[in-house]
A and B are shown apart, each in its own frame.
Chain A
Amino acid sequence: MEKDRKEGIKGMANPGRYGIERVAYWLMRITGLGLLVYFIGHIYETSSLLDGKAAWNSMLELTQTTEGHIFLALVIGMCVFHTGNGIRLMIAEAGFGFGKARRPDYPYTPSSLNMKNKLCIYVSIGLAALAMMYGLGVMYDV
């Protein structure tokens, strides 16, 4: 009798063990899900227009609270990270940006985890943080 050692969602989601690339993978998934939730909410929000101006205005007021501002700032951050990292992934997944395959020498440094890739991840995180700060600045009129 054998027992399957499949790690499941817990293992998939654990971002801590395999470097920044795994963190980016995890953030990409989370932000993707977050944006999906936002998209559904956004459709619901804009559909209130059908009930007239008053309904639309009361819906907008929801975003003028502290929770609403935090939520919108998160949406901005998710959008920017997902876009930046998404562009990196589109380029990498088409096979670009790794250099050429070559005979590996010890200690092996994988080309797929090269500095260019890492830098793109850090830049995406940095841009997301900046955009969130800018968004909060606009929302709080700073």
Chain B
Amino acid sequence: MTGHSPLRDAFLANRDRIADQHAALLDPGWRSRMGTIAIFGGGIVLYIASFFLLDMSLSNLIGGFRRLADIVGLMFPPTPETWSRFYLYLGAIGQTLSIAFLGTLLAAVLAVPMGFLAARNVVANRLVHLLARRSLDTIRSVDTLIWALIWINVVGLGPFAGVLAIMCSDFGAFGKLMSEAIETASDKPVEGILSTGGSRFAAIRFGVVPQILPVFASQILYYFESNTRSATIIGIVGAGGIGLHLSELIRVLEWQQAAFVILMVLVTVAAIDQISQRLRGAIIGRRR
């Protein structure tokens, strides 16, 4: 052990004594790591096994990437080809935004009473609140696209079905958010109002609503943002908006136009993001 620094030699000099005193601490700790190793190992095994279970072969992957490269090559330059098509796509984008806006708005309006029903501190009846919660969960766990398919069967193909689909899937999410916001709202203002002799309704109106309004408003905006994305795809099943054109273009392999439509979607979503971020900042900022 020569050639090492005096510190190292000094530390290693009483190695035996330390090994005696702290044997357990010097153990590399395989045993204590067993749990972590098992979880990671299991995860990796499942990951690899999935490739076989899902029929995903390497040759498939490689061949696919070659075709994908071809497709990406065919996308350039993105173009709508004619002006009339450009206006058509622009109109479809407008329809998409309309669907997102109306769906969000209707869901928010419908979710308000439901949120109060599902909140533990407003409705004392356990059964009512449990039932409300469960139905919200059920509605929430069905994807927007599935709702769209169901509504198409009811009101026929077109954007109206899209609005109803977005409304349904958001209704579940909003109801849950709303009830959680109500439950976490401070009950001090409520007590304050009840103590002045106000009714229970007044307590909720003046004690709870002002607390949750900004939270809820900013959530609505956030959902509008994410619904813009959802609304771009519900057209795939025929529920209106730009998705209809997009899926059609991909189906007939019009890659340049498809790329152009994707770009339009990207720009629209980015713009909506910006606007809603500003508004959300304003809503939350003003209340501070």
- Same complex for A and B? Answer no
Chain A residues in the interface with B (C-beta under 8 A): none
